[in-house]
C-alpha cells in the first residue's frame, strides 16, 4: 500500500510539473508573439527544444482561449483582425530595424532618372527618407507625410490629391485614382498590411485598396516591401493577387513555405 501511495504521489507530482512547464512555455510563446508580431511553429520548436507537434498543440490551446489567431505554420496576435487599421505612428514602433534594412535594399535598386510610386506606410516612408540625396528622380505618392519628407530636396514630388485618411496620412478616393491613371512609373514600392501568398496583398481600407490597385496598373514593375510579420495576414480588401508582383523585399523571418510559393509564382525574392 505504501508503495502504491508513493507511486501515486510521484505520478501526481510529475503531472503538476508537466502542467507548469507547458504553462510557462505557452506564456513565453505569448511574450514572443507580442514582441515579434508573429510566431512560427518551426522556430518555436527549435527555441523550446520540443517537437512541432507539441508547439502546434500549444498554439491550438492558446487559439481556443482567444489569446492568439492561428495561421498556417504559426500564429498572430488575436487582436489583429481583418478590419484592424492602426495609425502610422503605431506602426512605426513595430519591426523598425527590419523596415530600415528593407528600405536600404529597395533604394539600392533605384537609378537616377526613374519615376517611382510610393504608397502610404512606414516602410515606404523609410524608403522616401533614403531617397533624399537623389538629384534626378520623380516620386508619385498619395502619402502627405512622404511628400513632406522629400520637401526641400532635388527630388520632384507629384502628390495625387484626394481625401485625407488621418490614420495613414494618405489621400484616397476618385481624385487620387484619376490623377494616377494619367501617369506611369518605372517602379511601385508597395507596402501592405496583409500578405497571404495564396490570397494576395491586402489592406483594411476599401478606398486605400482601390488607389493601390491603380498604382499596380500604371507601374512597369511592382515590388512589395514588407517585413515578415505581414505574411499570413489577410485584411479586408484585396489589392492584387500574388501573381501581380515582380519582386518582394522582406526580412529573413519570412516563412520558407511562403517564399517558395512566391518563387513558384515568378516573383524575385530578396531577403535582408
Output 15 or 222, whichever has higher pLDDT.
222
Can you give the pLDDT at residue 15?
47
Can you give the pLDDT at residue 42?
92
What value does the mean pLDDT take over residues 9-32?
70
Rg (CA), the chain: 22
- CA neighbor of 249 nearest in space, from 193, 201, 191, 197: 191
pTM (global) more than 0.75:
no
Between the ranges 92-106, 147-161, 162-176, where is the mean pLDDT highest?
A: 147-161
- CA neighbor of 162 nearest in space, from 232, 215, 86, 200: 215
Hey, what CATH topology would domain 88-271 get? Rossmann fold (3.40.50)
What value does the mean pLDDT take over residues 18-26?
77
Residue 183 has pLDDT above 80, yes or no: yes
Residue 85 has pLDDT above 50, yes or no: no
Domain ranges of the chain: 2-77, 88-271
Residue 222 has pLDDT above 90, yes or no: yes
Residue 13 has pLDDT above 80, yes or no: no
Residue 192 half-sphere exposure, CB side, CA atoms within 13 Å? 41
- CA neighbor of 249 nearest in space, from 192, 180, 210: 192
Can you give the pLDDT at residue 69?
77
Residue 98 has pLDDT above 80, yes or no: yes
CATH node for 2-77 = 1.10.10.10
pLDDT band at 33 (very low <50, low <70, confident <90, very high): confident
Cell numbers 510610393 label which residue?
Answer: 118
Q: State in Å, rounded, how far the first CA of the chain is from the last one.
A: 64
Output 233 or 122, whichever has higher pLDDT.
122
pLDDT band at 90 (very low <50, low <70, confident <90, very high): low
The proportion of the chain whose per-residue pLDDT surpasses 90, expressed as a percent, equals 63
Amino acid at each position: 500500500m505504501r508503495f502504491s501511495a508513493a507511486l501515486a504521489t510521484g505520478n501526481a507530482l510529475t503531472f503538476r510539473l508537466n502542467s507548469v512547464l507547458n504553462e510557462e512555455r505557452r506564456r513565453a510563446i505569448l511574450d514572443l508573439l507580442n514582441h515579434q508580431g508573429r510566431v512560427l511553429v518551426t522556430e518555436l520548436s527549435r527555441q523550446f527544444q520540443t517537437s512541432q507537434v507539441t508547439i502546434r498543440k500549444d498554439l491550438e490551446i492558446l487559439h481556443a482561449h482567444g489569446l492568439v489567431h492561428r495561421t498556417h505554420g504559426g500564429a498572430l496576435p488575436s487582436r489583429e483582425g481583418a478590419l484592424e487599421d492602426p495609425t502610422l505612428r503605431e506602426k512605426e514602433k513595430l519591426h523598425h530595424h527590419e523596415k530600415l534594412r528593407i528600405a536600404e535594399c529597395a533604394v539600392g535598386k533605384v537609378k537616377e532618372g526613374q519615376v517611382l510610386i510610393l504608397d502610404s506606410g512606414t516602410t515606404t516612408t523609410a524608403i522616401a527618407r533614403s531617397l533624399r540625396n537623389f538629384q534626378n528622380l520623380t516620386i508619385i505618392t498619395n502619402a502627405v507625410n512622404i511628400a513632406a519628407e522629400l520637401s526641400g530636396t532635388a527630388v520632384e514630388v507629384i502628390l495625387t490629391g484626394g481625401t485625407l485618411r488621418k490614420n495613414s496620412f494618405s489621400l484616397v478616393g476618385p481624385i487620387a485614382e484619376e490623377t494616377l491613371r494619367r501617369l506611369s512609373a518605372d517602379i511601385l514600392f508597395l507596402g501592405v498590411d496583409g500578405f497571404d501568398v495564396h490570397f494576395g496583398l491586402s489592406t483594411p481600407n476599401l478606398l486605400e485598396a482601390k488607389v493601390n490597385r491603380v498604382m499596380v496598373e500604371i507601374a512597369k514593375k511592382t515590388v512589395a516591401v514588407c517585413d515578415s510579420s505581414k505574411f499570413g495576414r489577410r485584411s479586408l480588401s484585396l489589392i492584387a493577387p500574388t501573381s501581380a508582383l515582380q519582386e518582394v523585399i522582406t526580412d529573413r523571418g519570412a516563412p520558407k513555405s511562403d517564399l517558395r510559393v512566391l518563387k513558384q509564382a515568378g516573383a524575385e525574392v530578396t531577403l535582408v
